[in-house]
Structure 1
Amino acid sequence: MLSSIPSQFMLIGSTVAVVLMGIMMMIIRSRSSKKPASVKKIIIPPIAMSSGAFMFCFDYFHVAWPQVLEAVIAGIVFSTVLIATSKFQVLDDEVYLKPSKAFFFILIGLLVIRTVAKVYLSGSFHLGELGGMFWILAFSMILPWRIAMLIQYKKVEKELRFLQHS
């Protein structure tokens, strides 16, 4: 079925989908900063995203090991920027994710980089392989970011409990 759709339409469609998901992520992030953070809110995104690994059960999404390594390294590098902009604060005796204007610019920058790379690389890799590479990159970005957020959240939560009991 996928092979009957021209690759340029798949490229355009998947790019539009990523932009829409990026916009949705910005909306979710701005709303989440208005509610207290929790361990569940921090760990659910990578757990939910991990189901995407099932794509690799199909040969269409096969990614060679050198490209896996490149995608993982790029994801880890990009995660450092997200880690640097994700901070927690205590308000009304609860832990909140501190709103960061830089986050939106970083997310837009990452979307632009991803889109340009996707268009550029679409001549070198077939769409399934490219999709797999970008999933690996995204997962390699979100996992360390969320682990760092969880560690930071637990630290702030511990400090808050200490202050409440003293």
Structure 2
Amino acid sequence: MQAFGVKPVHIAATLGSIVMALTFVVIRLRATKKPTSAKKIILPPIAMSTGFLMFLYPSTHIPVTWGIIAFLAGAVFFSYPLIRTSHFHVVDGDIYLKRSKAFIFILLGLLILRLGLHSYVEELFSIPQTGAVFFILAFGMILPWRVAMYIQYRRLLKKIKTESHHVD
């Protein structure tokens, strides 16, 4: 494979990204079958933040401006479609994440765009630096999306409590 200019590490990273995206789709679709909670909304970015430990490894170090640009790109361009398609509904007093038909297409579109950008960025930077940039981009996408979901969840929870007091 090396003879064709394709590095095995690049193939592994691409396959890993595809597997993670498909896993994310399955988890997200299953999540619509059970009531949600503040913990379920907040936990993913907290758990993901442990990935910042990669920066203890010197080969992943990137300039601060790259990190800021990656975070802002994730927050501005990649989180927006997820925020727009994430909605909740109430069933028997429980709050559920509403399944969006557009979600899978948005996620797959983001994956294709990410893979296309990954190949371009990888030509300019080392593989560990590329991983660092895309980790920050993903975190920039997840954090605002989950914050928006949490705000929407809290508003709906408050509305449910207000309505239950009016019924009594």
Fold agreement, TM-score > 0.5: yes
> How many equivalent residue pairs?
161
Which residue matches 1:3?
Answer: none
Question: Residue 7 of structure 1 contacts residue 127 of structure 1 at CA under 8 Å; is this kept in 2?
Answer: no
Q: Deviations over 1:61-83 (max 9, x none)?
A: 11112211220111112111111
Unaligned runs of 5+ in 1: 1-5
Q: CA deviation at 1:8?
A: 1.1
SS of structure 2 residue aligned to 1:35:
coil
Report the Cα offset of residue 162 of structure 1: 1.2
State the match for 1:155 in structure 2.
Answer: 155
Runs of 4+ displaced beyond 4 Å:
none
1:1-166 to structure 2, matched below 5 A, reads 8-77=7-76, 78-166=78-166
Unaligned runs of 5+ in 2: none
**C-alpha separation between the residues in 2 aligned to 1:76 and 1:70?**
10
Identity fraction in percent: 45
Task: Name the TM-score, length of structure 2 as normaliser.
Answer: 0.92
SS at match of 2:160: helix
SS across alignment from 1:123? helix
TM-score (norm 1): 0.93
What whole-Å deviation, never above 9, does each CA across 1:137-157 have from its counterpart, x for those lacking one?
A: 000110111011001000001
8 A contact 1:49–1:139 mirrored in 2? yes
Other structure's SS at 1:97 match: strand
